Amino acid sequence: MTLVGWVQVLVFFALIVAVTKPLGVFMHRVFETGEAPLGRFLGRIENSIYKLFGVDPKREQDWKEYCFALLAFSALGVLVTYGIERLQGHLPFNPQHFPGVPQELAFNTAGSFVTNTNWQSYSGESTMSYLTQMAGLAWHNFTSAASGIAVALCLARGFTRRGGPAGPKTLGNFWVDLNRSILYVLLPLSFLFALVLVSQGVIQNLKPYLDVTTLEGAKQTLTLGPVASQEAIKQLGTNGGGFFNANAAHPFENPTPFTNLISLFLIFAIPAGLTYTYGRMAKDSKQGWILFAAMSFLFFAGLVVCYHAEAGGNSAFAGLPLQQTLGNMEGKEARFGVAASTLYATVTTDASCGAVNAMHDSFTALGGLVPLVNIELSEVVFGGVGAGLYGMLIFVVLSVFIAGLMVGRTPEYLGKKVEAKDIQLATLYILVFPIIILGFAAWAAVSAMGVSSLNNNGAHGLSEILYAFSSAAGNNGSAFAGLNANTPFWNIALGISMLAGRFLMIVPALGIAGAMVAKKVVAPSLGTFPTNGPLFAFLLVSVILIVGALTFFPALSLGPIVDHFQSLQGKVF
Amino acid sequence: MRKELLIALRATVVTLLLTGLLYPLATTGAAELLFSERANGSLARGDTGQVVGSELIGQVFATPPYLQGRPSAAGNGYDPTASSGSNLGPTSKKLRDRAIADVARLRKENPDAPMPIPDDLVTASASGLDPELSPEAALWQAPRIARARGVAEDRIRAVIENRTEARDLGFLGEPRVNVLEVNLTLDQQFGKPHPAGPTAAAGTR
């Protein structure tokens, strides 16, 4: 590890701290005040969009209506993207004349982008037309991110609205939250940052690939396309789906260490800002900052381990006359080096982004363990846009419950009692995740359909399987990419994991919101456990770590941990 | 419920047109207007103005007079239509064998270069298209380039040092050298090497 490497980390983190409040305040204005925060012109566009939708923005929905709207919109999204992929051969913006995408892959990809996962079983540059990239995929980068924000808002309103049993049981209007997050947050920032990225070398055009003759006289085909517009929203919406197979390691997606910093900033900006928005909704900004603090602790803990492991070099080269002062450079780009690569790997898996600027499969065993653990902690470390906040709030409910058990009182949060039904829903939310991951991973590990896709032998092969299902169920989308996931078994199994990992978790989260919103508000008493102090942050972090460790430690010990000890002995398979 | 489904359908169409078409097309227009050269791939040109690649995309250099880039797992080497890393992990025999072979090749091709070898010369990048090298790895090749071109090693080192880029803003990423830019400068200053042609470039790594 180097000093300059840590300066890079700290500058990045300082930018996130700096943006949290202003962006949080802005999003509070967007979602909770009904104002037109970016001037009357956009306000007029907003209203015409409601007319086109055919909705009355004044009418609020209860949790079931809200949930139905979200599910219906997502289901249509799967169908439309599936259709565009299958038909791309007959549609415009296809200068490379790519044929329609095969069925299983089209299903996997549609599910992947609707769920904000952006797992990619395909190579963009040899599979997807520009139309599919723009209208089939980047479209979902907006809508799935907006849906995540909507769910987080819904849950936050459930906790923070103070109507009591006599008040309304509604939680907002899905179509309003969707429209406003796209129009006021995602679109303007994406447009702005897309142009910043282009100025640094990210490409943006609709031209066919270009054949050139290299200096040594060989032929090279340069791939082109509308990359920057997708890159900006892919980071901002924590989607992570690359235009190209190599994702943000590709020089046309992420040409310089400066664009790398911008990408990292975009990934964490909204999730960090939402913690402040939440504090403002709770009328106690400390409630938000305490979540921010817990997240920051877990962020740095993961980063230190990952950076330290990668800086130590690659054991596969032990004994060779190599100077490994740069650290483990297999699967990393020269311009980023170990510091910027491990920072990216930590950020992209803390948030459920899944973009990569280095190949996690080639990380050292412990370096690769960190991204995997980050995902398996349910991506609550800032997390996906919206998804991070609502995931964290579920853990808050659980922590409050455990604290209540310890002192023998009915737990309460923000003045609302947490009761049996809420805990059942929270437990369901927590359990869905390991059931998908461990269930499918076990199946894949013992079936020929599963193991025939592996790129690495030995314990590292199990890590590839575990990572794939964790990434899919966690809606992350990064990969130990040696695994050949473009087979019917993997496409279907991962497709199901992604859909289950998104919607089977959103429904209980919205259920909790519905149960919470109309609860009686009790004044804090001496026996109330304060949820805005360091003690609570400590408890919250402990609960996250304990739940994660109890669930996944046995599996991890057979994968990355065995891999680590074998690599220490210099074993290769 | 039918009403909600109808709303969902209309919202699908409207958001798709807005974010899936209008946004990328508007971005393309603005990019073309403001940063046309960047938006179209930062193309690099040779002495007669012909396009020889992109500044940002690495290409295969296998002959002694040229600075050579890192091993590439993209297709048969630096194939932009198949960007990829090797994805081989720390306990992979394939990775170890590949490194042993690369070390042997590098020692044979660079008899005058010092040991040990900088590790970016035997590790495959993440994209397979990495256009750059660490300054150490570039300077390490100077003796071979100097001999093949028949010029003093100092002059080759000067070109490389001239072309070395510091960390962005002084603290972001790593210092680096763009391989294609160095080779264009070498050709410009010392002339095109002979023989150069497709046969020399056939090596795939």
At A351-393, the pLDDT tens digits run 999 999 999 999 999 999 999 999 999 999 999 999 999 999 9
What distance in Å separates the CA atoms of residue A73 and residue A66, rounded to the nearest whole number? 11
pLDDT digits (tens, 9 = 90+) for B50-92: 999 999 999 999 999 999 999 999 999 999 999 999 999 999 9
Selected residues 130-189 of chain B with any CB under 8 Å from a CB in chain A: 130-134, 136, 167-169, 171-174, 176, 180, 183-184, 187
Q: What residue spans of A63-167 are helical by DSSP H?
A: 63-87, 103-114, 124-127, 130-131, 139-160
**With the CA atoms of A48, A53, A54 and A57 taken in that order, what torsion angle do they form, in degrees rounded to the nearest 10?**
-70
What distance in Å separates the CA atoms of residue B58 and residue A68, rounded to the nearest whole number? 49
Selected residues 54-113 of chain B with any CB under 8 Å from a CB in chain A: 54-63, 66, 70, 74, 78-93, 95-96, 99-100, 103, 107
A458 Cβ neighbours under 8 A, 6+ residues apart: A563, A566, A571, A573, B91
Instruction: List for chain A the helix, strand, coil content (%; round to 5).
Output: 65, 5, 30
pLDDT digits (tens, 9 = 90+) for A466-518: 999 999 999 999 999 999 999 999 999 999 999 999 999 999 999 999 999 99
Rounded to 5 degrees, what are φ and ψ at A127?
Answer: -130, -40
> Is pLDDT at B205 greater than 50 in this prediction?
no
Q: Determine the pLDDT at residue B198.
A: 41
Decide if A125 and B134 are in contact by the 8 Å CB cutoff: no
Residue with tokens 């991070």: A388
Decide if A215 and B10 are in contact by the 8 Å CB cutoff: no
Average pLDDT (B98-114) is 97
Q: Which of B51, B123, B184, B194 is most worth mutating to test chain A (most A CB atoms within 10 A of its CB)?
A: B123
Banded pLDDT at B95 (limits 50, 70, 90)? very high
What distance in Å separates the CA atoms of residue A311 and residue A316, rounded to the nearest whole number? 14
| Token reading at A267 | 């990934």
Q: Given CA atoms B108, B110, B112, B117 in this order, what sign does their dihedral have?
A: negative
Which residue type, as a one-letter code, is found at position A190? S
Rounded to 5 degrees, what are φ and ψ at A520?
Answer: -65, 140
What interhelical angle do B153-162 and B142-149 show, nearest 10?
Answer: 120
> Is pLDDT at B199 greater than 80 in this prediction?
no
> Is pLDDT at B197 greater than 60 in this prediction?
no
* Average predicted confidence (pLDDT) for chain B: 94
Q: Are A497 and A437 in contact (CB under 8 A)?
A: yes
How many beta-carbon pairs under 8 angstroms link A with B? 415
| Token reading at A368 | 């690769």
Residue with tokens 């080096």: A337
Decide if B91 and A52 are in contact by the 8 Å CB cutoff: no
pLDDT digits (tens, 9 = 90+) for A272-317: 999 999 999 999 999 999 999 999 999 999 999 999 999 999 999 9
Decide if A251 and B131 are in contact by the 8 Å CB cutoff: yes
β strands within A228-351, DSSP E? 322-323
Give the distance from CA B76 to its chain's centroid. 14
Q: Determine the pLDDT at residue A39.
A: 87
- Give the gap in angstroms from C-alpha B154 to the nearest C-alpha of chain A: 23
Q: What is the largest CA-CA distance in chain B?
A: 80
Q: What residue spans of B40-152 are helical by DSSP H?
A: 93-109, 135-140, 142-149
> Is pLDDT at B202 greater than 70 in this prediction?
no
- Residue B141 is given by DSSP the state T
What distance in Å separates the CA atoms of residue B50 and residue B43, rounded to the nearest whole number? 10
Which residue type, as a one-letter code, is found at position A215? L
What string of H, E and C letters represents the secondary structure of A378-434? Answer: CCCCCCCCCHHHHHHHHHHHHHHHHHHHHHCCCCEECCEECCHHHHHHHHHHHHHHH
Selected residues 255-284 of chain A with any CB under 8 Å from a CB in chain B: 255-258, 260-261
- Chain A residues in contact with B28 by the CB 8 A cut-off are 204-206, 226, 229
Nearest to A70 by CA among A180, A156, A144: A144
What interhelical angle do A420-446 and A534-556 show, nearest 10?
Answer: 30
Q: Determine the pLDDT at residue B195.
A: 60
Decide if A136 and B20 are in contact by the 8 Å CB cutoff: yes
What distance in Å separates the CA atoms of residue A246 and residue B126, rounded to the nearest whole number? 7
Q: How far apart are the first and last CA of chain B?
A: 60
- Give the gap in angstroms from C-alpha B204 to the nearest C-alpha of chain A: 11
Q: Are A255 and B58 in contact (CB under 8 A)?
A: no
| 10-residue stretch averages of pLDDT, chain A, 573 residues long | 97 98 97 89 96 96 97 98 98 97 97 96 97 97 97 97 92 97 98 98 98 96 98 97 97 98 98 98 97 98 98 95 95 98 98 96 97 96 96 96 89 94 96 96 96 95 97 96 96 97 97 96 87 95 95 96 95 93
What distance in Å separates the CA atoms of residue B83 and residue B74, rounded to the nearest whole number? 5
- Chain B residues in contact with A563 by the CB 8 A cut-off are 89-91
Decide if B83 and A125 are in contact by the 8 Å CB cutoff: yes
Q: Are A158 and A517 in contact (CB under 8 A)?
A: yes
Residue with tokens 């960090």: A272
Nearest to A251 by CA among B89, B38, B118: B38
What distance in Å separates the CA atoms of residue B127 and residue B77, rounded to the nearest whole number? 11
- Give the gap in angstroms from C-alpha B157 to the nearest C-alpha of chain A: 19
- Give the gap in angstroms from C-alpha A394 to the nearest C-alpha of chain B: 28
Q: Exposed (0-12), middle (13-18) or buried (19+): which is A546, by Cβ within 10 Å?
A: exposed
Q: Determine the pLDDT at residue A95.
A: 97
What distance in Å separates the CA atoms of residue A337 and residue A348, rounded to the nearest whole number? 17
Measured between CB atoms, does B12 come within 8 Å of chain A? yes
Query: In 10 A of CB A115, how many CB atoms?
Result: 32
Region of residue A89 (left: phi > 0; alpha: psi -120 to 50; beta: else): alpha
- Residue A102 is given by DSSP the state P
Q: Given CA atoms A337, A338, A339, A342 in this order, what sign does their dihedral have?
A: positive
